[in-house]
């Protein structure tokens, strides 16, 4: 006898969509407001719990049209800064070829302002400055984002902007954002980032991966990881104001968020510059000493392995690319 598949229990909704901005039919920004909780004196407490820029929350919904499928939950990086207490902001792409039979985005895309959904009780995650190199680290932070992988970096930069505006001495010049999308209209937050980051020197670099479909686009082209191609790297260094060959762990820390391909190719190309990935399995496969400090951090939104650790020939080549004698 085949065991029946367990259906996830219905979720008790505790949040509402208060705003939705559609960038195109497959890309949207959702503003989710948690229900207020009374404090010990019976007054309405702040809606959003404290969190650190770069963390994520879990959204969920019940499949009302197909109750037999039950409920579904999924983690999404938060795009709003911790200072925003009214809502949490999520930058989400509709999954056209889902791996599951009950994808959350198919439910979200039917929701409008005022609709209810479930918000997980905890905000968590270690893809933050404080959990990686520390808030006071002076090195340039290079954020590499594929599509909606931009979300945690938006939160970090908005948080930095608010700290600066409140007189806490935050220096926005230490952030660089490389953002890849298929089409120009998919650059969510482009105007905000240009206004915040390009004040003194260019710090926001959007790149279009399908230029042939966007003849009016005059900016960078290619997938976002191609900024680190050998023939482009010197130009990137010049544009962000460092000397050729100085994009190294001594001067920079790299954060990547996106699909497997973006993470893998960025990691592979920056190994040659001595960047050390924070993933324990990759470090062990590359035989990097445990005392070496991580300088390349990533968070992915698909489940594919970043690199094939079982391919010994490939791993051996990667080991040889890492500069000898580096002890970061």
Task: List the chain domain ranges.
Answer: 15-119, 129-321
Burial of 312 (0-12, 13-18, 19+ CB in 10 A): exposed
In CATH terms, the fold of domain 129-321 is: Rossmann fold (3.40.50)
C-alpha span between 283 and 307 (Å, rounded): 12
| CA dist., res. 10 & res. 141, Å (int) | 42
Read off the pTM: 0.94
Residue 22 burial by Cβ neighbours in a 10 Å radius (0-12, 13-18, 19+):
exposed
Task: Give the pLDDT confidence score for residue 247 in this predicted structure.
Answer: 97
Which CATH number applies to 15-119?
Answer: 2.40.30.10
> Which segments in the chain show pLDDT lower than 70?
1-5, 39-46, 200, 325-328
pLDDT in tens, 20-76: 999 999 999 999 999 987 765 655 556 899 999 999 999 999 999 998 899 999 999
C-alpha dist (Å) from residue 290 to 61, 129, 161, 228, 284: 42, 21, 35, 26, 8
Report pLDDT for 44: 58
Whether the domain at 15-119 and the domain at 129-321 fall into the same CATH topology: no
Q: Residue 327's pLDDT is what?
A: 46
Return d(Cα 90, Cα 96) in angstroms, integer: 18
- Do residues 144 and 181 touch, judged by C-beta distance below 8 A? no
**Rounded to 5 degrees, what angle do the CA atoms 255, 147, 193 make?**
70
Write down the pLDDT at residue 328. Answer: 45
Residue-level pLDDT at 42 = 57
Return the residue matching tokens 């302002």: 113
């Amino acid at each position: 006898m085949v065991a029946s598949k367990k259906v996830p229990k219905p979720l008790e909704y505790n949040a509402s969509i208060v705003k939705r901005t559609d960038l195109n039919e497959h890309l949207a920004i959702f503003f989710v407001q948690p229900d207020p909780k009374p404090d010990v004196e019976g007054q309405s407490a702040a809606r959003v719990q404290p969190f650190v820029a770069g963390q994520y929350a879990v959204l969920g919904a019940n499949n009302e049209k197909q109750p037999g499928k039950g409920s579904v939950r999924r983690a999404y990086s938060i795009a709003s800064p911790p200072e925003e207490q009214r809502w949490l902001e999520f930058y989400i792409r509709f999954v056209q070829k889902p791996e599951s039979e009950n994808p959350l985005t198919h439910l979200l895309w039917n929701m409008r302002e005022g609709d209810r959904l479930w918000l997980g009780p905890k905000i968590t995650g270690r893809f933050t400055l404080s959990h990686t190199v520390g808030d006071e680290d002076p090195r340039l932070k290079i954020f590499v984002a594929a599509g909606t992988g931009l979300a945690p970096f938006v939160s970090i930069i908005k948080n930095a902007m608010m700290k600066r505006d409140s007189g806490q001495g935050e220096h926005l010049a230490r952030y660089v954002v490389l953002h890849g999308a298929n089409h120009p209209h998919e650059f969510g937050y482009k105007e905000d980032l240009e206004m915040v980051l390009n004040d003194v020197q260019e710090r926001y670099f959007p790149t279009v991966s399908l230029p042939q479909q966007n003849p009016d686009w005059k900016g960078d082209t290619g997938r976002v990881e191609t900024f680190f191609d050998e023939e482009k790297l010197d130009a990137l260094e010049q544009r962000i104001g460092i000397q050729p060959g100085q994009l190294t762990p001594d001067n920079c820390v790299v954060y990547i968020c996106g699909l497997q391909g973006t993470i893998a190719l960025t990691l592979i190309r920056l190994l040659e510059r001595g960047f050390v990935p924070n993933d324990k399995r990759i470090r062990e496969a590359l035989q990097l000493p445990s005392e070496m400090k991580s300088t390349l951090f990533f968070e992915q939104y698909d489940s594919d392995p970043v690199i094939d650790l079982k391919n010994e020939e490939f791993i051996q080549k990667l080991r040889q690319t890492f500069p000898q004698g580096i002890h970061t």
